Homo-oligomer: A and B are copies of this chain.
């Protein structure tokens, strides 16, 4: 494995000092920012995440902030999800599509007020698309990247840790809702959300200067809970079916291909830029779709490019994410599979760098 070269361009985060003190071993780059990927080992981190509580530096989930009278209109232009029923205090997972229906990002939209939104983005410069649209359509809205860095607290003991720092009322936050809490006299948006299936919260740390004080406070409060620095875990997120933009889908794919049809209300999402392009696929369904796939045999190597998938020797799709799951004793994977072979139980062949492997489409992800 190669090293990562340090530079200003790969931005540090308000929590980088804590991450380094915790002994980070590997990084990836996400939204031009360092995202830790390994502390002890991917497998050790995985077991710990499923049993205890971790604090994750996910500052790389940058925000695109929309402010002004046209903020709501602009937000609806970006997504085929109907936002009319969304109230301030809610978070919505929203596919963002271009005029062809191709996915540009799959962020979480945070509605702070009617005229103020954060879009908590996956790995692409969504800011550029949103600014371009706002400019071209002459919308009365300010679009920028604020100094907001999410810190996630994830794992079965996450709620207990958060209660110790922010008080009992944290328990009242429902899934994909947020509340505003105080830290050192400063307001912080805290949502029940996160990029794992182990439960937890995301703290939107507004003001970099609060980063390390909050990091330290969480570690002090959670010592007996065995709190550790962690990060989105490759194995756990594949088991949980959490997609990764840039890995599992790109602008080549519609939300429907990604299995995100349930987040699209294409018929009623009036104003969505990709609406016309998506109406047909929304009605008829896609011809390929993301599926959970179990790959037979020993642990597969890292998936660094699409692995072709075949059925009876003919092309049937591709694998985009894969890892050995210690808990399920198989390789868990995410792939885009053609309609003819996407039914659960379908037998496939996967061309891995180690050679052909047999594989099976699963009914659902491993959860």
Contact = CB atoms under 8 A, between A and B. Distances in A.
A7 B302 contact: yes
Contact of A128 (B12, B24, B128, B302): B128
A306 interface: yes
Interface string A224-244: 000000000010000000001
A26 B5 CA distance: 6
Interface in A119-150: 123-138
Contacts of A11: 305
A262 interface: no
A32 B33 CA distance: 12
Q: Which one of A1, A5, A37, A246 has the highest number of Cβ atoms from chain B below 10 Å of its Cβ?
A: A5
What's the number of copies of this chain in the assembled complex?
Answer: 2
A44 interface: no
A224 B246 CA distance: 41
A66 B10 CA distance: 29
Interface residues of A, number: 53
Nearest to A5: B37
A273 interface: yes
A5 B27 contact: yes
Given A2-B24, A2-B25, A247 B8 contact: yes
A184 interface: no
A321 B27 CA distance: 21
A135 B136 contact: yes
A144 B234 CA distance: 30
A9 B27 contact: no
A88 interface: no
Given A2-B25, A24-B2, A8 B303 contact: yes
Contacts of A5: 26-28, 37-38
Interface in A298-342: 302-306, 320-321
Contact of A4 (B1, B12, B137, B306): B1
Given A7-B247, A9-B244, A38-B5, A104 B133 contact: no
A275 to B, nearest CB: 13
Contacts of A8: 246-247, 303-306, 320-321
B3 A304 contact: no
Contacts of A126: 128
Interface of A: 1-12, 24-29, 32, 37-38, 98-99, 104, 123-138, 234, 244-247, 273, 302-306, 320-321
21 contacts: A2-B27, A3-B4, A3-B25, A3-B38, A4-B27, A4-B28, A5-B37, A7-B28, A7-B247, A7-B304, A7-B321, A8-B320, A10-B28, A29-B29, A32-B123, A127-B128, A129-B129, A129-B132, A132-B133, A133-B136, A136-B136
